[in-house]
Amino acid sequence: MRFSNFLWLLLLMPMSVWAQSKGQIDFNKDWKFYKGTVANGEQKTLNDDKWATVRIPHDWAIDGPFSDEYNARSGGLPFHGEGWYRKHFTLTNTQKDKQVAIEFEGVMNNSEVWINEHYLGKRPFGYIGFEYDLTPYLNKDGENVIAVKVAPEDLSSRWYPGAGMYRKVWLNVNNPIHIAHWGTFVKATNVSSRVATVEMEVEVENHLKVDEVVSLVQSVISPEGKVIETLETKTVAEAGKTIHAFKSFNLLKPQLWSQENPNLYHLKTEIKNQKGEVTDTYVSRFGIRDIKFTAKEGFFLNGKLTKFYGVCLHHDLGPLGAAVNRRATERQLQIMKSMGVNAIRTSHNPPSTELLELCDEMGLVVLDEAFDEWKIAKIENGYHKVFDEWHERDLRDMIRRDRNHPSIIMWSIGNEILEQGQKDGWKVAQRLAEICHEEDPSRPSTAGFNNYYGSIKNKLADQIDIVGFNYKPAKYKEVVEAHPDWIIYGSETESVTSSRGVYHDTFLEKYTKFSDNQVTSYDIVGPVWAYPPDMEFKFQAENPSIMGEFMWTGFDYFGEPTPYGGRDNSTNGYWNDDWPSKSSYFGAVDLCGFPKDRYYLYQSQWTDTPMVHLLPHWNWKGFEGKEIPVFAYTNAEEVELFLNGKSLGKKVKGVDKAMIPVKFRFYEGPNNFESPYRLRWDVPYAAGELKAVAYTDGKVVSEEIIATSGRAKAIELSADRKVISCNDGEDLVFVTAKAVDQNGNFCATFNGELQLDVKGTGTFEASGNGDAASLITANSKKLKFFNGLALIIARANEGQEGMITISAKGKKLKAASIQVETKKTKEPESFL
């Protein structure tokens, strides 16, 4: 299916707390957990008193230990094996005659579920949610036991997937006639600032043995919380069936969802019986926007041409592992937005609902991706083992779960799938694209192709609506000329590697590996397919019809420690040759959320707020008089560099170009690229102060100073927020520990130890330092600074108002402490 110029119009309504059903109950507390094999773990009489009590979401593997016994490609963590979760519960009197289901937002992976020893089913894919009906098997007058067996396999993931019940769980208690799981879908046509024609579809299940006449009452609620439209429809709910009800209306002067103003409505759907009594209520959040893709110009949001300043994100949350946390996800997205990001690619599987909800709220567009593997294996125990049986169910479920999020603009059917090299690989692509269109004809299908020739020759690219190419900027012109009707973007770009704050004394040498298991932060080193961001900027500028890019990656993640340890797509491969490297170097931001230099290079291209950034650090004892390459990244017109107060001259961005080494596949240009995106000075080293002053129109708009530091003498602590919520025990505070000298200068090369403590109305949650080669686990209160920085994460105790005191001390360092208030906060408005 090919659309050279098509309009995708949609009104979307995602659930703001997953599914806002009146019958939805938080089912995440007081689970019992045991890591290991359990004979008959589903039996009600099994004594689980000595099992650990855990709260879901839960990732059993993040506490380690890191070991070369495990695969560094998957983070060197014990994510595989067998684990069991059990929960005991009784029904209340009001629940006994209800329809009761359990909903898992994601279990990693190969889950099997029992209720009262009755087997409910299995779900191999860990990235998608599912629901089981418990009603026929419940004990209405006594205890019930739900048991979940999880059995992730070794060599089942190319990165760290996490392990266990890592996403939330709900008990859905409804009347026999109720709105189905993921049972609402709204789309709009003729969207403008004047009017939008809204078409609503609702699925209603009747679990009774008789037909019932019911009324569907749908109330549209404005972003300000006012009911602006109410529609009522009578219909017959047939016994034992699911019915589909359709309704449409014209919404005048809709407040459009945009990146600048992500306006969100709510749709409240009620089921009423013949007596007029409300028997079910379901609230869906939505936004109205117009999206359009054209081959010649690109992507338009509400008529505004919009380039993708995108990043690929894996689902782990650094020191927190894969266990979903809304605040941690929000912080990641806030850091990305501050870099200038406006688009997220969920690499390479369905994301958490929290991420999608936050993207809705923050105005980020999303490429929602289904699979990293089809029938052909990349790894021994990957998705290919279950593809034939499960691909259709998993893809349909992803779309049905996510289709109401205004942030989502494309469905991706796969990433770098090996069928690109097969003559009949197009058949699979065609079928997956058909499923996308069947479930949601309002959005285009896409895929990320790394086999440039194979994806075209074997016609996989012809099966999808939007063509994504991974790491092929030098081929953009060729493919645009050969296929002028294709709509194209960079689905995965750059892949340059770096370690925060590391600058080897080889400076601009593009080496393969280095003895300390780190990679220079000059943003020039990468694998054979990779290239500095400058090259993507160059080829995107030369080919303006390319819609933008999704760089690899926004954040570092556990696993895939390229360039250390192995080769990508190596079936059965262990990546432990360069242990202890166990997490990626690809991020513009490290595992803890601390920006690397590359963050500022993107910021200089993707943002307008004046900024300037200098690198490297200025601690080069023993290099006195030797030239140090100094780079400035800025979005201003020119920069003047000063060393100890003496001007080293001004340079004009785009005119005074900076030489960087470049060599990668499919690129035939010079190996020394004169980049217009950086400014460079070669400065004879002298201790002191290096200062950059940025000018636009001759006026100072931004400055940055880096100074030679003395010995580390003290710790400084800063929190990302002064007040956090204690409503539900889920909120987190992220505290940065910074090493400084006696004058308060940042000690950019300090790697000494520190010890942490958390007291008061919160608890220690995790720690980290962003070092890809550190074996200190996230649950440790003893760790090291990595190039002067470390991170402490604390969790608010549920219901406890007061103060959390976070403290840090180290040998020969002045200790520090900081207080963060925990406070009961106003809950978001509910329309239930």
Supply the residues annotated as catalytic. 416, 492
CA-derived radius of gyration, the chain: 27
- β-pair type (445-449, 408-415): parallel
Residues 322/166, Cβ–Cβ less than 8 Å:
yes
Burial (CB < 10 A; 0-12, 13-18, 19+), residue 826, is exposed
Identify whether 616 is preceded by a cis peptide bond (ω within 30 of 0).
yes
Residue 284 CA to residue 790 CA, distance in Å, equals 40
User: For residue 561, what are its two tokens?
Assistant: 């420690």
Residues 581/773, Cβ–Cβ less than 8 Å:
yes
- β-pair type (679-684, 627-634): antiparallel
Residues 165/58, Cβ–Cβ less than 8 Å:
yes
User: For residue 512, what are its two tokens?
Assistant: 């393969």
Where do runs of H (alpha helix) occur along 696-823? none
Q: What are phi and psi of 258, to 5 degrees?
A: -140, 175
Q: Tell me, what DSSP letter sits at residue 387?
A: H
- β-pair type (265-272, 212-221): antiparallel
Residues 6+ apart with CB under 8 A from 279: 175, 177, 178, 214, 271, 272, 273
Range 653-676 burial, b when 16+ CB lie within 10 A, else e: beebbbebebebeebeeeeebebb
Coil/strand/helix, residue 731:
coil
In one-letter notation, the amino acid at residue 204 is V
Query: Which element (helix H / strand E) includes 654?
Result: none
Q: Tell me, what DSSP letter sits at residue 728?
A: S
Residue 121 CA to residue 133 CA, distance in Å, equals 11
Residues 571/73, Cβ–Cβ less than 8 Å:
no
- β-pair type (627-634, 612-615): antiparallel
Task: List % helix, strand, coil for the chain (3-state, nearest 5).
Answer: 15, 40, 45
Q: How far apart are the first and last CA of the chain?
A: 41
Strand partners, 784: 753
Query: DSSP for 739-770?
Result: EE-TTS-B-TT---EEEEEEEESEEEEEEE--
Q: Tell me, what DSSP letter sits at residue 42?
A: T
User: For residue 7, what are its two tokens?
Assistant: 């309009």
Distances (CA, A) of 613 to 12, 26, 504, 683: 40, 46, 19, 16
User: For residue 831, what are its two tokens?
Assistant: 């329309």
Coil/strand/helix, residue 318:
helix
Residue 257 CA to residue 261 CA, distance in Å, equals 6
Which residue in 265, 241, 247 sits closest to 404, CA to CA? 265
Give the number of other Cβ atoms within 10 Å of residue 605's Cβ. Answer: 19
Distances (CA, A) of 522 to 139, 305, 351, 661: 63, 32, 31, 11
User: For residue 815, what are its two tokens?
Assistant: 């200790």
Query: Which element (helix H / strand E) includes 88?
Result: strand 83-90
Give the number of other Cβ atoms within 10 Å of residue 431's Cβ. Answer: 14
Residues 348/415, Cβ–Cβ less than 8 Å:
yes
